Structure formats: C-alpha cells, structure tokens
C-alpha cells in the first residue's frame, strides 16, 4: 500500500470525526467480549446521540465517526434526543475499553468496509489520541448529571442492544 492510499484511508476515516454516545445495560460477560484492536460489524443501524452527559447505565459506547447522519434534523421528534444514525452493516475498530467503578466505556472507531483489512493490520497515533481523549472525557462525564430525555423508555429501547454482537453475545467479526 502506497502513501497516497494510506492518506486516502486516513482522510476517509478521520476528517470531520465527531464523538457520539450510546448508553445501555449489558452483562459483564458481554462487555468482556470487546477487545482492543478487534474489528466488529453492526448488522443493524447504529443509533447514538451527540448529547454527552452523565451515565445512568453500566455501559457507554463512545463512537468516533465522520459519517454519522444527523436524523434529528430530518425527524423533528428525534431532535430532543440528538439522534444520529450510522448505516447498517457498519464496521468499528475497538480502540479502548475503560472501566471506572461499575461503569465501562468502549471506544469504537467507525471505519469503511474497504478499510477493514488496513485497520486489522495497522494502528496509528491518531487512534491512541482518540482513546486517550475518550478516557479523559469519560472521567469528566461521570461527574455530570444524566441527560433526562435520554432516560425516556423510547430512547432506552432504541439503544438497548449491544453493538457488533447478537443478543446472545456472539460477536460479528
């Protein structure tokens, strides 16, 4: 792979990168399945929010993506949730798992299908920086109040499923 191809992959992945949150309750058994460096595929759409606050559950996915779509702009009822969506079949690289007390954050990097092999074989200092900033942010967010609208049953149901695995805990690798 030449320098130009690597540059294209980095531009596609990291240009315009934003952070999104998805909180849920998962068993420790499921949380433990996430390993740094793993590439997982979420077969369904990924719902998340751009609203970052305190954590009312035991698990937070922090998703770094340059390609999440702001659904709130299109569907006014979703505006209060700050809903963003990532297309079905999305691939993620696990950048970090971080546990503080009984709460865990799994940091995921959204990657394009055609870059899966590259990200399986390589890691970069950008990924390390994202993981480091994610840990700092998690510690800050743990001290914040939860965002009340994200405690609504409708939102909790939208974000209850684990990412990149079946409900029985089988990873989509």
Cβ contact 23:56 at 8 Å: yes
Give the mean pLDDT of 66-84. Answer: 88
The structure tokens listed for 1 are: 């792979």
Asked if residue 49 has pLDDT above 80, the reply is: yes
Q: Is residue 16 part of a domain?
A: yes
Q: What is the CATH number of the domain that holds 8?
A: 3.90.176
pLDDT digits (tens, 9 = 90+) for 86-98: 999 999 999 999 9
Q: Is residue 45 part of a domain?
A: yes
Q: Which helix (H) or strand (E) covers residue 154, if one does?
A: helix 153-158
30/9 Cα distance (integer angstroms): 30
Q: What is the pLDDT of residue 167?
A: 73
Cβ contact 28:145 at 8 Å: no
Taking phi first (over 0 means left), then psi (-120 to 50 degrees means alpha), and beta for anything else, what does residue 156 get?
Answer: alpha
Cβ contact 160:167 at 8 Å: no
Length of the chain: 173
Asked if residue 136 has pLDDT above 90, the reply is: yes
Mean pLDDT (the chain) is 94
Asked if residue 34 has pLDDT above 80, the reply is: yes
Q: What is the pLDDT of residue 11?
A: 93
Rg (CA), the chain: 15
Asked if residue 112 has pLDDT above 80, the reply is: yes
Domains held by the chain: number:
1
**Count of beta carbons in the 10 Å neighbourhood of residue 37:** 11
pTM: 0.95
Domain that holds residue 88: 3-158
Q: What is the pLDDT of residue 1?
A: 80
Q: Is residue 48 part of a domain?
A: yes
Percent of the chain with pLDDT over 70: 100
């Amino acid at each position: 792979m030449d320098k130009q191809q690597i540059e294209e992959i980095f531009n596609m992945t990291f240009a315009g990168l934003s952070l999104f949150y998805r909180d849920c309750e998962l068993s420790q058994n499921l949380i433990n399945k996430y390993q740094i460096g793993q590439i997982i595929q979420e077969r369904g759409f990924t719902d998340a929010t751009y609203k970052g606050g305190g954590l009312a559950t035991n698990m937070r996915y922090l998703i770094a993506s340059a390609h999440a779509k702001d659904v709130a702009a299109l569907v006014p009822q979703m505006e209060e949730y700050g809903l963003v969506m990532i297309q079905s079949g999305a691939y993620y690289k696990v950048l970090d798992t971080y546990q503080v007390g009984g709460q865990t954050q799994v940091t995921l990097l959204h990657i394009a299908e055609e870059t899966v092999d590259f990200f399986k074989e390589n890691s970069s200092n950008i990924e390390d920086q994202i993981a480091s900033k994610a840990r700092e942010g998690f510690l800050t967010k743990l001290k914040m109040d939860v965002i009340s609208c994200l405690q609504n049953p409708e939102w909790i149901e939208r974000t209850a499923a684990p990412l990149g695995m079946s409900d029985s805990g089988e990873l989509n690798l």
